Amino acid sequence: MGTEVTEHHSLALACARVPHAVVCLLTALRFHNLGTQHPADVWLAIDRKAALPKLDYPPLRIVRFAKDAMAEGVTQHRLEGVPVRLTMPARTVVDCFKYRNKVGLDVALEALRACRGRRDCKLDDIWRFAKLQRMTRVMRPTLEAFAAL
């Protein structure tokens, strides 16, 4: 790629090969330093109707997002010269609750705990993304408990 290799090398490789994807869930948690997860696979979201990418390396975990979810709460970064679309911290926490059967409820709760008190991850933002993702009933008790602390 002509640039220096960084700790996000596999992430840059995956996004170079699947440019329409959004980095999400455990990989986004790792990127944002939320929690203790160190995924072996690169977690990517693709459009519901997109063809499944076939890569030998790096190993991928694919989830499918609706078209509007591919843009809301997504930021653009540049890693090793490659444009990388990535979910914001608050959006990543909500996605962990939405995909709790894939990542585990313990991971979602750890992400929410780690997010608390950070400038780029406010409870109001989490609530806004919970509304957009239709996760308010699932997340309300947990968010109310965190707000009370």
Provide mean pLDDT across the span 34-55.
93
| DSSP per residue, 86-99 | EE-HHHHHHHHHHT
pLDDT tens digits, one per residue of 114-133: 998 788 888 889 999 999 99
Task: Tell me if residue 81 falls in helix, strand or coil.
Answer: coil
147 vs 142, which has greater pLDDT? 142
Report the pLDDT value the prediction gives residue 1, as an integer from 0 to 100. Answer: 44
Q: What is the pLDDT of residues 81-115, one digit of tens each?
A: 999 999 999 999 999 999 999 999 999 999 999 99
Region 54-64 average pLDDT: 93
CB 59 within 8 A of CB 42: yes
Mean pLDDT value of segment 11-34: 95
pLDDT higher than threshold 50 for residue 11:
yes
The alpha helices in 72-149, defined as continuous H runs, are 89-98, 100-103, 105-115, 123-132, 136-148
CA distance 27 to 32: 9
**Please, are residues 17 and 55 in contact by the beta-carbon 8 Å criterion?**
yes
pLDDT category at 29 given cuts 50, 70, 90 is: very high
2: confidence class by pLDDT, cuts 50, 70, 90 = low
Between the alpha carbon of residue 94 and those of residues 13, 37, 50, 52, 129, the distances in Å are 26, 16, 23, 24, 7
Contact 43, 111 (CB under 8 A): no
Domain 9-148: CATH architecture, name and number where available? 2-Layer Sandwich (3.30)
Distances (CA, A) of 24 to 45, 97, 148: 6, 12, 28
The percentage of residues in the chain with a pLDDT greater than 70, rounded to a whole number, is 97
Locate the domains of the chain by residue range: 9-148
Task: Answer whether residue 3 shows pLDDT above 70.
Answer: no
